Amino acid sequence: MEAAVVDPGSSLLKAGFAIPDQTPAMIIPTQMKRMLDDGSVTDNPTVDDVAVDPVYRGYVRDWDAMEDLLHYVLYTGLGWEIGNEGQILFTDPLCTPKANKEQLVQLMFETFNISGFYASEQAVLSLYAVGRISGCTVDIGHGKIDIAPVIEGAVNHIASRRFEFGGTDLTSFLAQELGKSNPRVNLNISDVEKIKQLYSCCAEDELAYQQTLDSCPVETHTLPDGQACLFVIKIGRERYTIGEALFQPCLLGLEAHGIVDQLVRTISNVSSDNHRQLLENTVVCGGTSSMTGFEERFQKESSLSSSAIRPTLVKEMLLMGFNCTIFANSQFLYTYISTCG
């Protein structure tokens, strides 16, 4: 049986088998709903603490919920049989605490009785996905942004940077901005998330963004459950504000440099012998990076960078983010932790 591959993110969990040119067999929300005493699931918003998030900003924080989620994924989703468990490869976020790693290994061996375990860092796998072993990854996740230089398949942890904001913070920011322009509409966060996915985009540069503040085409969006005019909202400059926050974090109230500046500053902490190799092999991943205009803005900001070598984006392959595990699978049998010693 092929090794199972699990990528548990803060928003989505992807899982499947390490088979070449195959997309993940499962892509499901990581968030779970708490069961009531009678075994049913409630959608009643008056019930407190219904939603459970096993993974928060990239790290597992609710191990009981994570165990339940993995049990469903491995036995129901991937078809494992109890007593005939196989090997498993987990993606490992940047700067994962040692205690988390140890607890995951203990959970997999003692609870799931797996025959082999290996955790590979997400930054390394993202580079493998585009056929590189050296480069720099910018991972814009649901709850964090990781920037990691990778040299010959190894992450330079000293130079790497992790920022505690990501797609979920942009969603909250959009909700705040839409609330100002649509004060009579009560938006829930799931509606705002859908609006962000549909409308968010990046301005060409900072000047173009400033112009949207003065004049910007307005679109209307009808909420799924809305029939009256109160449920039709207007979306104007707000859709540009989301993308701009990645390049001007001050919009979120953060004292931080933009994402391209952070990339250059990260690489400046690596030996100068590796600067060109890292900057010319930059991989940007994560759902937020797919918004309209992001790549063009990133490239333009890079051309204005103070660095002597301009960051250059490496195009993603079709199955990036998952097919990378196939590259690692050739060494999996020789590097995993095995119950056989």
Q: What does the pLDDT average to over 250-270? A: 91
The domain containing residue 183 runs over which residues? Answer: 167-249
For residue 103, how many other CB atoms are within 10 A of its CB? Answer: 14
Determine, yes or no, domain membership for 172.
yes
Distance CA 172, CA 254 (A): 14
Give the phi and the psi of residue 254 in degrees, each rounded to 5: -105, 140
| pLDDT, average across residues 99-125 | 95
> Other C-beta atoms within 10 Å of 88: how many?
25
Distance CA(256)–CA(262), nearest Å, equals 8
d(C-alpha 5, C-alpha 24), whole Å: 9
pLDDT at 325: 43
Q: 339: which 2 tokens?
A: 């119950």
Instruction: Tell me if 280 sits within 8 A of 149, measured CB to CB.
Output: no
Among 65-79, 108-122, 152-166, 278-292, where is mean pLDDT lowest?
278-292
In a domain, 243, yes or no: yes
CA distance 2 to 89: 11
Q: How are the residues of the chain apportioned to helix, strand and coil, as percentages rounded to the nearest 5? A: 40, 20, 40
Question: What is the CATH classification number for the domain harbouring 237?
Answer: 3.90.640.10
Indicate whether 190 belongs to any domain: yes
- Region 4-32: mean pLDDT is 91
Q: Which residue(s) pair with 161 in the sheet?
A: 147
Q: What is the pLDDT of residues 216-230, one digit of tens each?
A: 888 888 877 654 445
- Residue 183's pLDDT band, with cuts at 50, 70 and 90, is confident
Whole-angstrom CA distances from 237 to 83, 167, 244, 284 are 56, 18, 11, 25
The mean of the pLDDT values for the chain is: 85
d(CA 271, CA 286): 27
| Ranges 59-68, 283-292, 302-311, most confident | 59-68
Summarize the confidence of residues 69-74 as an average pLDDT. Answer: 96
Q: How confident is the model at residue 315 (pLDDT cuts 50, 70, 90)?
A: low
Task: Tell me how many domains the chain contains.
Answer: 1
Decide: helix, strand or coil at residue 254.
coil
Asked, for residue 195, whether it belongs to a domain, the answer is: yes
Q: Is residue 234 one of the residues assigned to a domain?
A: yes
pTM: 0.84
| 8 Å CB contact between 199 and 177 | no
How does strand 282-285 pair with strand 135-140?
parallel
- Within a domain: 89: no
pLDDT at 332 over 70: no
CA distance 270 to 151: 10
- Of the candidates 325, 322, 335, which has an alpha carbon nearest to the alpha carbon of residue 23? 322
| 198 CA to centre of own chain | 18
Instruction: Report long-range pairs for 47-54 (Cβ below 8 Å, ≥24 apart).
Output: 53/10, 54/8, 54/30
Residue 263 maps to a domain:
no
